Structure 1
Amino acid sequence: MLNILFSAQPPRWDEYETPLNAALTKAGLTTNLSRDHAPDTVDYIVFAPNGPVTDFTPYTRTKAVMSLWAGVETVVDNPTLTQPLCKLVDPSLTDGMVEWVTGHTLRHHLGMDDHITKQDGVWRNFIYPPVAKHRPVTILGLGALGAACAEALHRLGFPVTGWSRSAKDIPNIRCLSGDAGLREALKDAEIVILLLPQTPATENILNTETLALLAQGAFIINPGRGPLIDDDALVAALDSGQVAHATLDVFRTEPLPSDHPFWAHPSVTVTPHIASSTRPETASEVIAQNIARGEAGQPFLHLVDRSRGY
């Protein structure tokens, strides 16, 4: 029998206990899922960074740590974590992110805010958006979420450029990488979507210099991580008109403080980190299948590269 420790906030246990036990059984595993195993008896940890486990040293028998979160920036540098760490790639999380990103991309592309929030009684039927094929979109980050969003926007007709730190090859997507590739990806982009992980190399990737590369009046959509954007540089770009609007779902401090300038800025939409969430049923299946792979002697999926931070 495998001892699996569930280390997350108490409300998550209420959500995950039943579907995770069901998924483990479905995967052919005999397990004891608990929040209270003695550390030296634990075979796997199902882990959230805000849960009770912060020191992995006593978990000498643990074969892998299965993250409940897609982002691992708060744990990847933990010096006590020597066990393999697997991030969560949940198909429902991907679906939700594709829907949120597509919705806000179309919102800005079609200029929907003008008709939803700015009605003034004037009939302006001479103002209309370009078709999608004339609206270049750049996605920073081509992991599972970024690639899925890129493919969805391509199917709608947008010319999509994707950028990642290492080279990628995705059909129908112009894929760039490296420092020179970043400048090329951002040059004259009209909509920029950020889906990068948070690492020292990606912090403030949108700053005064890189924001100046965008097309005048570009739109920013950030459901990735707050520190990807220099807040002050973004506000300056919004005030100058270089950026027409920013839709932000993630922030350096969450919840976003009530006195933060983003709340009151007329060209910023704040959403409270709800672009997409993991769903216990599908996330449980991903975790259970990965544990089954480990028990069968197969490589774990979605292993985190500690040197890159994701």
Structure 2
Amino acid sequence: MIRILFADKPENRPRYEGPLTRAIAQTGIVAEIVQPGETDPASVDYIVYSPQGPVQDFTPFTRAKAVLNLWAGVERVVGNETLTQPLCRMVDLGLERGMVEYVTGHVLRYHLGLDATLAAQDGVWRHDTGVPPLARDRSVVMLGLGALGRTCAEALAGLGFKVTGWSRTPKDISGIDCLSGPDGLHAALARAEILVSILPDTPGTTNLLNSETLALLPEGARIINPGRGTLIDDDALLAALDAGRVGHATLDVFRVEPLPPEHPYWAHPKVTVTPHIAAESRAETASEVVAENIRRGEAGEPFLYLVDRSRGY
């Protein structure tokens, strides 16, 4: 029997216990799921981990074969010097579909001009304001072409949008104009009528959208950020909004969460704040990913979604 430590907040255990137990049983593995304090750390084979859980020192877990993160982001654990075990990030169908629906919904909202339409419910029939272009004539740029970014880019291309994707390293995705590197970033931003970021939080992405790069956007560009709050220089974005360089921003992630009540984003007329809801790990689908990685660990097969420590994701 293997021992699995569920190292999330205790109140989350009931939500995961049933799905995780079923998913592991389906692999044929016999396992015991325990919480911190219920067993000797040296007896733990796998750690199902959340950064908001009680485990921050991995030193005692001398037998653990892997740390299986329940979150897509690993920025809060990847730099932990006590973590010597393999670290796997979460990529699951529920999280993926949630992100696709969030991104697609807000891209269509901007594309169709729904904010202005809904704000003008005053009894005046405005039929002379023009119609939006077709999706094929709208340029959407996706920053980040990992598992989530690629899926979102493909969904938007499937709706007919002209989609450009940018990533640090070259990618080749059918139907997506893929750019990379610093020159590729500048070229991508220059065509971004609607800009979506699903980049991870790494030293290389911090303040990637700053006064210099925001100035490359087409006048009135829209920004959607369900990736990481550190991507954006907040002061630079507010200045770009005030100057009209950026027409509107929908932000789901922030440097400080919950976003403080006094933060200027709350009251800004060109900002939509959503409370980090774009993509959540679902217990059922996340448990399937965890169970598959445990099966792989026991079979000596490569783990899914193994984090590259040198890249930070």
TM-score, normalised relative to structure 1: 0.99
Please give the residue correspondences for 1:253-268 in structure 2 after superposition, counting only pairs within 5 Å: 253-268=256-271
Q: 1:74 aligns with which of 73, 76, 79?
A: 76
Structure 1 contact 66–86 (Cα < 8 Å) conserved: yes
Q: 2:215 aligns with which of 212, 220, 231?
A: 212
Q: Give the unaligned 5+ runs of structure 2.
A: none
Letter of the 1:141 partner, please give it. G
Q: Distance in 2 between matches of 1:243 and 1:281?
A: 39
Structure 1 contact 136–159 (Cα < 8 Å) conserved: yes
| C-alpha displacement of 1:11 | 1.7
Please give the residue correspondences for 1:1-20 in structure 2 after superposition, counting only pairs within 5 Å: 1-20=1-20
1:164 lines up with 2:161 in the alignment: no
Q: Distance in 2 between matches of 1:162 and 1:251?
A: 23
1:30 paired residue number: 30
| C-alpha displacement of 1:119 | 2.6
Structure 1 contact 3–37 (Cα < 8 Å) conserved: no
Letter of the 2:63 partner, please give it. R
Tell me the percent identity: 64
- What is the RMSD computed on CA atoms of the aligned residues? 0.8
Letter of the 1:144 partner, please give it. A
2:146 paired residue number: 143
Q: Distance in 1 between matches of 2:39 and 2:99?
A: 35
| C-alpha displacement of 1:294 | 1.0
Please give the residue correspondences for 1:32-181 in structure 2 after superposition, counting only pairs within 5 Å: 32-35=32-35, 36-127=38-129, 128-181=131-184
Secondary structure at the counterpart of residue 106 of structure 1: helix
Secondary structure at the counterpart of residue 147 of structure 1: helix
Q: 1:259-283: per-residue Cα shift (whole Å, max 9, x none)?
A: 0000000000000001111110010
Q: Distance in 1 between matches of 2:95 and 2:284?
A: 11
Q: 1:80-138: per-residue Cα shift (whole Å, max 9, x none)?
A: 00000000101111001101100000000000011212334433212221111111000
How many residue pairs get aligned? The number is: 310
Q: Distance in 1 between matches of 2:123 and 2:25?
A: 61
1:286 lines up with 2:297 in the alignment: no
Q: Distance in 2 between matches of 1:7 and 1:142?
A: 30
| C-alpha displacement of 1:188 | 2.7
Q: Give the unaligned 5+ runs of structure 1.
A: none
Q: 1:143-187: per-residue Cα shift (whole Å, max 9, x none)?
A: 111000000000111010001111111111011111111111111
Please give the residue correspondences for 1:215-294 in structure 2 after superposition, counting only pairs within 5 Å: 215-294=218-297
Secondary structure at the counterpart of residue 12 of structure 1: helix
Structure 2 contact 45–63 (Cα < 8 Å) conserved: yes
Secondary structure at the counterpart of residue 100 of structure 1: helix
Letter of the 1:91 partner, please give it. L
Q: Distance in 1 between matches of 2:34 and 2:94?
A: 25
Q: Distance in 1 between matches of 2:120 and 2:74?
A: 40
Q: Distance in 1 between matches of 2:195 and 2:11?
A: 35
Structure 1 contact 4–31 (Cα < 8 Å) conserved: yes
Letter of the 1:161 partner, please give it. T
Structure 2 contact 141–191 (Cα < 8 Å) conserved: no
